[in-house]
Amino acid sequence: MKRRIQQLSHTLMLGLCIGIGSSCTPKLGNTIVEDNMMFAQLQLRVAFDEIDYARTNESPESREKREKNCWGELTNPRNSEPDGSLHLVPSKDWTSGFFPGELWYIYEYTQNNFWKKKAQQHTDMLEQEKMNGKTHDMGFKMYCSYGNGYRLTQDERYKEILLQSARTLATRFKPAAGIIRSWDHNKNKWQCPVIIDNMMNLELLFWATRESGDSTYYNIAVNHARTTLKNHFRPDYSCYHVIDYDTITGNVLKKNTHQGLSHESAWSRGQAWALYGYTMCYRETKLPEFLQQAQKVEEYLFNHPHMPADLVPYWDFDAPNIPNEPRDASAASVIASALYELSLYDTENAEKYQKQADRIIENLAKNYRSDMGQNNGFLLLHSTGTKPSNTEVDVPIVYADYYFIEALIRKDKLEKTGKLF
């Protein structure tokens, strides 16, 4: 009850007249961008209270597990659990950078120092990850947080942290196979697993070459993107989730899934990572093969008979009980953000891409948004993390919100300046 009162006081403090107690949220701005960016500011203020509450009320089992494994303090939100509680993660979790990334985007949009300070606080919690060479998730963690922070502040300390993060990520490159190793877990199942998600971590490496002048990072990123293009995709341009490599011969050992329905199915967020990843690789390299790959993935997605009318995918395009399957709003957010960028590079289809992205964010805003003051301050409902293990099914997840805000900011910039970068 006390937390609910705090949440409402945030809303009132902002001088907004809202229908407290009703389930609908009034319009907060004149455009979809204004409306949702205002909504995001209100929700993130709620999130700050929920984070404090979750930190002080951590269960003894969770604390014991964290201490036993030396995981360090709880940092940022990851998702709402089905019982409504907030799941906070230590810095090593692959999702720890998205919340600070959201705060940086809000600062960019509002230019209000309140958000800058909050973004700095939630970013600073992650510094130790720059030395964590045990996963490939460095880009997700550090580029969304420190990367946005550096872009907006030019803080030299952030630059050093990002360069160290890139050095650490580069240690996972396996030259004979031409890929960056993704996971170290499940060693009995895979020798050297690479997941399509790993395309997203390359942005940090491209940045590191630009900033340091050392082409090593660029070469690793291009190598990884080319090997992934060769081995991760099927003839219809859908992609596998996990490819297992022999690190001595470079041969492909297995084509698997981990979070999708089956090895041969099309896990929705994986397709979204592919679209975003190759669009970003084209931005960084101007290599036509990467643009073509992004175009083909877009064609696969938008011609798929199981793409719903509202363009918010089911968790897997081959899920057996469509239309009675959980959606994945996070896949939709990633796709929307990627399409705004793709519209810059494929000008013949620019209008089509922008319209698709507009439809996605309109539908997310209309039918997938949390009620104000609810859901631990998350923005979007109905994301699915890992359906096969029944983890994070049909719940709010932080990366859906991060890419939703990014997509809104991209739409705003495109409309105002015709540019994104």
Binding site for ligand GLY (CB under 6 A): 94, 197, 259, 269, 385
Beta carbon of residue 220, minimum distance to ligand GLY (angstroms, whole number): 19
Nearest to 345 by CA among 333, 358, 354: 354
Q: Is 420 exposed, middle or buried (0-12, 13-18, 19+ CB in 10 A)?
A: middle
| CA 216, chain centre distance (Å) | 25
As a whole number of Å, the CA-based R_g of the chain is 20
Catalytic residue among 35, 93, 197, 401: 197
As measured in angstroms, the least distance from the Cβ of 194 to ligand GLY is 12
Catalytically annotated residue among 93, 137, 316, 401? 137
Which residues 6+ apart lie within 8 Å of 354 measured at CB? 339, 340, 343, 414
Shortest spacing between CB 193 and ligand GLY, in angstroms: 12
Q: How far is the CB of 267 from ligand GLY (least distance, A)?
A: 9
Nearer to ligand GLY, 158 or 399 (CB): 399
Closer CB to ligand GLY, residue 7 or residue 256? 256
CA distance 52 to 29: 29
For residues 33 and 358, is the Cβ–Cβ distance under 8 A? no
* 172 neighbors 133 (Cβ within 8 angstroms): yes
Closest distance of CB 385 from ligand GLY, Å = 6
Say which amino acid occupies 312.
V
Element (H, E) at 274: helix 268-285
Q: Which is nearer to ligand GLY, 313 or 385 (CB)?
A: 385
Shortest separation between residue 320's beta carbon and ligand GLY, angstroms: 21
Nearest residue to the partner ligand GLY, using Cβ: 197
Question: Residue 144 has what DSSP assignment?
Answer: I
Residue type, 212: S
Nearer to ligand GLY, 201 or 209 (CB): 201
Sign of CA dihedral 232, 234, 238, 242: negative
The tokens describing 356, both together, are 């698709």
Q: Which residues contact 327 (CB under 8 A, 6 or more apart)?
A: 308, 312, 313, 314, 315, 368, 382, 383, 384, 394
- Could you tell me the smallest distance in angstroms from the CB atom of residue 234 to ligand GLY? 19
Residue 318 is among the residues annotated as catalytic for this protein: no
358: Cβ contacts below 8 Å, ≥ 6 apart = 411
Where is 399: in which H helix or E strand?
helix 398-417
Beta strand 252-256 with 173-174 is unpaired
Active site residue 346: no
C-alpha distances in angstroms, 120 versus 32, 45, 145, 219?
Answer: 27, 15, 9, 31
Q: Which is nearer to ligand GLY, 241 or 411 (CB)?
A: 241
Nearer to ligand GLY, 185 or 355 (CB): 185
**Residue number, 11 or 228, with CB nearest to ligand GLY:** 228
Nearer CB in complex with ligand GLY: 106/266: 266
Least distance to ligand GLY from the beta carbon of 200, Å? 8
Q: Tell me the C-alpha distance between 211 and 147, whole Å.
A: 12
Catalytic annotation, residues: 137, 197
